[in-house]
Structure 1
Amino acid sequence: MDAVLDNHWLLGNPDWWNLKDELPPDIRNGELTPNSNWATSTPRLGNHGWMRQRMKPLAYKLLFPLAWAPFFLILTVIPLVFSGETPNDQLISFIFFSISWILVIYPLFVSRELQLSHINSIYKLPIDWNLLFIGIAIFPIHILVDPRFGWISYFFLCAAMFRSIRLIQNMMLIPPSRFVLPIEIKNWNSGDLNNSWSIKSNKWNIGPIAHYKCMDGYLTLSGIRRSKVNFLSIAFVHKSGFIQDPFFKREKEDLMLINILQKPPIIMGNSWSKKFLITSEEE
């Protein structure tokens, strides 16, 4: 997770949205405010309650490599079309193929690791692994049996690339944010959660504490520490492992998520430290 100043930690770094002389707004397009059961605030309005903490948009690390990936996939077929024009057509084709998919998979994996979502499986990434593996499996057949199988393989690889980019785009529609509350860690008891939660730790700790299964992922409660202040964090973790804002407009409603978010976890929060808040002088 990219480092930001404490007073930018909640609203986000203005540079992320090309805001030159102003701070980000309390509510951005698509962001929702929790219902009245939640005691919420913003860095501008008060010093008590849950606050949204925005993370760096994924576009910064993903858009550039994703834009180049299809280009290298197109180059994959050129040595095979113009056979004999390179020292080793199949090796050159394999290199272009590898670059194309490294540009997709590696930035995704690194971006997810930086979010500390604690999902590490590469196969959870928003990649159409089925089409990709079919294309890879067919490719050797064009060498051993019939060159025309190379085009069938290439069709599946292109379909896998197209589908994967669509999956990534859909995942990125909801920005990475979570709601955080400063607490006294001795006051936290996971036993106060209802039976719908899967508890990983009865006491507060840095990392996952409990999670609740939803349609497209799960809601997670975690402990985090920032500038020697302990927080309880609540975030939605997409099935791909990427963190998403739990209170955000979704094209498809997740009724399980809506239900569990009707009430917040039962705990009294501390007052917010001034270093995280926005003063009138900073506006």
Structure 2
Amino acid sequence: MRLRKAVVGWGFATPFTVLFAVFMAGPVLASLAMSFTDLSSADIRNPLAVDFVVFDQYAKLLTDHRFVKAAGNTAIFVLAGVPLTMMAGLAVAIGLSSGLTKFRGLFRVGYYLPVVTSIVAISVVWRFLLQPETGLVNNLLALIGVSGPHWLDDTTFALPSLIVMSTWRNLGFLMVIFLAGLQAIPQSLYEAARLDGASRWNQFRYVTLPMLRPTMLFAAVITTIGYLQFFEEPFVMTQGEPLDSTLSISYHIYNQFGFGNYGYASAMSYVLFVSIVALSLVWFRLLRSDDK
């Protein structure tokens, strides 16, 4: 009977295992091996000509000013975008959980709609909104006597514009996560806090935030992973310009693969992977529960 159960179990698991090995694990391990070589498009027809360069590709990243610039842009995008998106999502979730009872469902749909909309379509719309002369944003600023800048053509405003757009698009997802976390908090805790004379701010500080730590951890990790890989926004809206001020690591990797620098692009991919793991561990360290 035990053998029969094992055979049946492996029979169900084998198709997925094979597909995972062929389409996931295999390419991941192959790209890791590529990162230690100088493989390029010129070597595809003659793989034996590829040289094993060990860590030369990784060392090359330190002297690649475009990679350093892309890493800095990605760091700014994450450090500014993740807290901003989390605060916006939490604020909307608290607002929807405490008021607007009649239209709560409508607002939830409205805030979540950008999440399920194509990022390419959203980026194209925002590109039109941020046009210097015909865009809606500058036209609204002109009504109050303010001359809007060239948002996507100015090195000062291009990356912040992408951060604001990404925050607007992703706050709906975090709103749903935080709403679920808020609904899981026992109301008896708030009643006890009110009986002790706690103000709304103290209820939020000493009840809501501590109880939301697991939810905040999940939201922070998911948002950080997504923002470290941001690609569509600069690809559609700025092409990494002006002067590489919106160039991200993912977009730089895409360009290197397009140029045929497969070994070098693979090395950048694994640097990005290690960065994602490291920042995820930082979030676990900061937001993990103190309960033993």
**TM-score, normalised relative to structure 1:** 0.28
Which structure is larger by alpha-carbon Rg, 1 or 2? 2
**TM-score, normalised relative to structure 2:** 0.27
* Larger strand share, 1 or 2: 1
